[in-house]
Structure 1
Amino acid sequence: MGNKIEKNRLDQTVIDKLMEETGLEREVIIAWRKQFLMACPSGKMNRKNFYKFYRTLRVESDEKVKEIANFVFTAFDRDSNGKIDFNEFLCGYAITSLGTMRQKLDYVFALYDKDKNNSIDRKEMIRVISAMYDLLGKPKKDYPPERCVEDVFSLIDVNNDHTLTKDEFIDGVLKNPYLSDIISPFNE
């Protein structure tokens, strides 16, 4: 039992690194760590555990949260091992909540790039935008996800190859800030 407590304790080096990467204070990191370990004592969350934890952070209905939680899990799982450790969670959370627009867009890109091939196609973007519409309770008939995606691609697919690289995506949204309201679930 003592070993488990020691195993789950953060040493000062890790805390210092997380403070640097997230901009969060030591006490905030420790508080998040406690909450994370209460939700997942092993220190690693699989998709199912993440959904349960993510659900506690959202007020929307289960069905609205489930699909977007799937996309967020994929974005937070930076090493693609099917589990999110505390560092991945906290860095993802801090960036998507407190980061610069460029940092947030980097995560949004990962959210859309479902197959992790370093580009986004229309199909990937339609799936995420549809899920966000559901999450936000936005009627799809007013501005269908397919039309939204066509508009986004016509503005930022610089080389017209029907895919968006990370640079095209981030630079395009930064040059057209109103797009971030349409395509990012991490806006204030």
Structure 2
Amino acid sequence: MGNKIQQSPLDQNILDKLMEETGLEREVIIAWRKQFLLSSPSGKMGRKDFFKFYRSLRVESDDKVKEIANFVFTAFDRDSNGKIDFTEFLCGYTITSLGTMRQKLDYVFAIYDNDKNNSIDRKEMIRVISAMYSLLGKPNDDYPPERFTDDVFSLFDTNKDRALTKDEFIEGVMKNPYLSDIISPFNE
């Protein structure tokens, strides 16, 4: 059955939608789909396959990429079904690579919002910041993730409810772009 999926052409409506959402040309989308199906012939990618695929896109070592890859997987899995289909992957990858800062931050927010309740609490932020420190090779002693998180909350949490909404998070990073290097795995 996997081979049948691999050989079937991409539905024109889906192709049109992907061209509109990503700004990519038809041929580029078709080429990306072929690559995706080589990695995941079923047309859906689980965490393990995603890690291998994401790992090939990063220069850092496996141990540094693994935890971030899990967070990125969760952000790309927009329907929270535990699998990433081609549309989720292409939209996520294109936006996080080529999108505007605001579009990238929408995905970054999803990385932090682990419980999908549309807000980020302190514990969620510390988990991701710790993984980002590891990815960046940043020592914890100079500016521990807990202190970094406290500083972010004091800057971003405008209504002081100890949770960051998507708007507070995105606006906070947009006003403090120097924090983006630590907060986002999608920087150039």
Q: Deviations over 1:82-135 (max 9, x none)?
A: 000000000000110011111111100000000101100111011101111111
Gaps of 5+ in 1: none
Structure 1 match to 2:134: 134
Counterpart-to-counterpart distance in 1, 2:68 and 2:103 = 19
Q: Following the alignment from structure 1 to structure 2, what is the Cα–Cα distance between the partners of residues 6 and 17? A: 20
- Structure 1 residue identity aligned to 2:81: N
Identity within the alignment, %: 81
C-alpha separation between the residues in 2 aligned to 1:129 and 1:175? Answer: 19
Task: Report the equivalent of 2:156.
Answer: 156
CA deviation after TM superposition for structure 1 residue 5, in Å: 4.1
Quickly say closer, same or farther: Cα 1:144–1:5, change in 2 above 3 A.
Answer: closer
Query: Which residue number in structure 2 is paired with residue 28 of structure 1?
Result: 28
Amino acid at match of 1:36: F
- Provide the residue aligned with 1:86 in structure 2: 86
Q: Which residue of 2 aligns with 1:108?
A: 108
Q: For 1:5 and 1:76, how far apart are their aligned partners in 2? A: 21
Alpha-carbon distance in 1 for matches of 2:131, 2:57: 17
Secondary structure at the aligned position of 1:150 is classed as: helix
- Corresponding letter in the other structure for 2:96: T
CA distance in 1: counterparts of 2:62 and 2:7, whole angstroms: 35
Letter in 1 for 2:97: S
The separation in 2 between residues aligned to 1:3 and 1:38, in whole angstroms, is: 13
Deviation larger for 58-67 or 170-179? 170-179
Do residues 144 (structure 1) and 151 (structure 2) align? no
* Rounded Cα–Cα distance in structure 2 between residues aligned with 1:65 and 1:177: 23
2:32 alignment partner AA: W
Q: Could you tell me whether the CA contact under 8 Å between 2:6 and 2:41 is conserved in 1?
A: no
Q: Secondary structure of 1:57's match?
A: coil
TM-score by length of 2: 0.95
Return the TM-score normalized by structure 1: 0.95
